Structure 1
Amino acid sequence: MSSHAPGKRRGRRSPEPEEHVNHERWLVSYSDMITVLMALFIVLFAISQVDQAKYEALRQSLTAGFQDQTGSDAILDGSAGTLDGQSVVPETSTANGTAGMVDADMGLGDQGASPSPAESTEAVSPELLAAARAEADHLAEIRATIQKALDKARLGDAVRFRVDERGLVLGLVADDVFFAAASADLTPTARAVLDIAGPTLKALEEHISVEGHANVLPVSGRYATNWELSADRATQVLRHLVEKDALPGGRIMAVGYGDQRPLVGGKSGAAMETNRRVDLVILSDAPETVRALLPAMTKE
């Protein structure tokens, strides 16, 4: 009788079923995104609804509280609030007839010779008008003080005053009185004018911008362009006021505008002399809404 050794039964392994591919998996992410967007729009809608009655009550409460502390009712006054859909910054018309915000540089260059129509005072609150009148009177006092000192030294015609939305501008026209052509060297007359105005400028609290300008004639030699020439003129005036007249350096700055901001257009002899100048701008520290009214307050 024969015996057979037991052997292992070998069989074929059954194939595993293929994983099912979910072709609609993107719907989960999409629905999450839609849910988040819906929540965002609900939040935006909620915060856009302002209870005007509650806001007005809050405004009056704050006004009363500040009035008790300061004795003034000017705080939070003049409008129903900043949420009434109107801008608190006055607008003015630009050269192309479109409305735009008041620019700090308006009143310079061509605008200085032919200023834009001043901000209307018809719809301005009494408090704002009073503040603008007070600031205009302050600038007029500065002008009168400097003009009186210049007249005493027989230099009353050496400075041309004007007021724009930034403050009081002292125009030092360089028709060979302050600077020679293509030169930034201060003449004796220029030094005398600066020394006369220096004490008044030193006593002020406002910052002062010294702005150099040049005419359109090309320069050669020491200066590559009119930009360098105008910047050097402004720097020389600044240095004299700081080093000779003890004006605090932290309150004064210098900038050169080249020939880009002429007071008089064209290439006539008068234009060449008038545009070769340095402006000393006493920068008003009044709010922008007050400064926008200054030209209308100082019409001559």
Structure 2
Amino acid sequence: MSGGGHGGGKRKKHEEHEEHENHERWLVSYSDMMTLLMVLFLVLFAMSNVDQTKVIQLQEGFNQAFGTNAVLQGSSSVLQSSASDSAGLDLAAGSGPAGQMTESEQALVKKAVSAAELAKAQTRMLAAEAEAQNLTEAEKKIKAALKKSGLEGDASFTIDSRGLVVTVVTSSVVFSGDSAILRSGGQQILDAVGPTLKSLPNDIEVDGHTNQLPVPTRNYPSAWELSTARASAVVRYLISNEGIAANRLRAVGFAGTKPLISPSDVRSVKLNRRVEIIVLSDLPDDTSSLLPAAAKAI
């Protein structure tokens, strides 16, 4: 009995010792947590010591170069680390205290801005030249097809900011007066133009134009409906006979609001009465505006 009691006492003392060790283990986790917090605050403190004035000035330089006020915007939450530091500071808006930069630093910023603007202009010009080259190749193919069909004098070509413009004068060969029914001569022109248009990836716009003569229309309420109907007739033919996808085409009527030559010119009665088939460029506006100059350089 005494042996059993003695053994039971030892086990109780050993169990109390293990329970005492479990109570002290939380100190290790607490110590680790405090260490991590101290490191975190040291990192935040180090990050808050950025020269905010120079960052703002540098951002303004980049904003001018790239046309955006978002440069370094993600840093605003770090730099605005205290109420005193953030007073009058708004990196997202590109504003802040005047600050001081050395002349050499200012020169570097200006040089960076000029270089960035030049690089952007060169990139746009290269893109315009490549597009003008593609449009010129399409023009050559269409001209060759028209010449093969004996129709080389029935269309003229220009490249403007919209793209390649194929102008077909809507004489009696293409449409009768006050009519939007495509005649056989017009069909032959579209048969020559169609295969090249189909092979291109570009969307196509067909614009109808009338001349400025105040002649009342019999079959249409006004020149607006007549010019739109003629453009639509060309689009329908390109879809049904040339196999061009309908979602690549659109028809627009301008009546006599966009004359090709001045109405005072005696030729305007004939030349302003036309249909324009436009191979549309998909370049941004600031780049497509360079297409005429790029085409002349080819």
TM-score by length of 2: 0.60
| Preserved CA contact (<8 Å) 2:173 2:183 | yes
Change (3 A) 1:126 1:267: closer
Change (3 A) 1:133 1:268: closer
2:67 maps to what in 1? 82
Counterpart among 159, 163, 171 of residue 163 in structure 1 = 159
Change (3 A) 1:235 1:137: same
1:251 maps to what in 2? 248
Report the residue type matching 2:260 in the other structure: L
1:187 maps to what in 2? 183
Identify the range of structure 1 (204-213 vs 216-225) with the bigger mean alpha-carbon deviation: 216-225
Change (3 A) 1:262 1:54: closer
Identity of aligned pairs, percent? 36
User: Is 1:53 matched with 2:58?
Assistant: yes
What is the rounded CA distance, in whole Å, between the counterparts of 1:195 and 1:182 in structure 2?
A: 23
2:15 maps to what in 1? none
**SS of the residue aligned with 1:175?**
coil
What is the rounded CA distance, in whole Å, between the counterparts of 2:192 and 2:216 in structure 1?
A: 31
1:292 maps to what in 2? 289
* Residues 251-293 of structure 1 deviation map (CA, whole Å, 9 limit, x = unaligned): 1000110111111222665211111111011110112222010
What is the rounded CA distance, in whole Å, between the counterparts of 2:122 and 2:208 in structure 1?
A: 38
Relative contact order, CA 8 A, sep 6+: which one is greater? 1
* Residues 16-58 of structure 1 deviation map (CA, whole Å, 9 limit, x = unaligned): xxxxxxxxxxxxxxxxxxxxxxxxxxxxxxxxx982435778x
Change (3 A) 1:157 1:50: farther
**SS of the residue aligned with 1:163?**
strand
| Preserved CA contact (<8 Å) 1:216 1:267 | no
* Residues 111-150 of structure 1 deviation map (CA, whole Å, 9 limit, x = unaligned): xxxxxxxxxxxx6732222111111101101101111111
User: Is 1:280 matched with 2:277?
Assistant: yes
What is the rounded CA distance, in whole Å, between the counterparts of 1:212 and 1:155 in structure 2?
A: 20
TM-score by length of 1: 0.60
Size of the aligned set, in residue pairs, is 195
User: Is 1:199 matched with 2:204?
Assistant: no
Change (3 A) 1:55 1:269: closer
Report the residue type matching 2:253 in the other structure: G
| Preserved CA contact (<8 Å) 2:125 2:294 | no
1:176 maps to what in 2? 172
Q: Which has the higher helix share?
A: 2
Counterpart among 226, 231, 235 of residue 234 in structure 1 = 231
Cα RMSD after superposing both structures: 2.5
In the alignment, structure 1 segments of 5+ residues that lack a partner are 1-48, 60-78, 85-122
**SS of the residue aligned with 1:239?**
helix
**Which has more radius of gyration?**
2
| Preserved CA contact (<8 Å) 1:210 1:253 | yes
| Preserved CA contact (<8 Å) 1:164 1:295 | yes
In the alignment, structure 2 segments of 5+ residues that lack a partner are 1-53, 70-117
Counterpart among 224, 248, 259 of residue 262 in structure 1 = 259
**SS of the residue aligned with 2:210?**
coil
| Preserved CA contact (<8 Å) 2:209 2:273 | yes
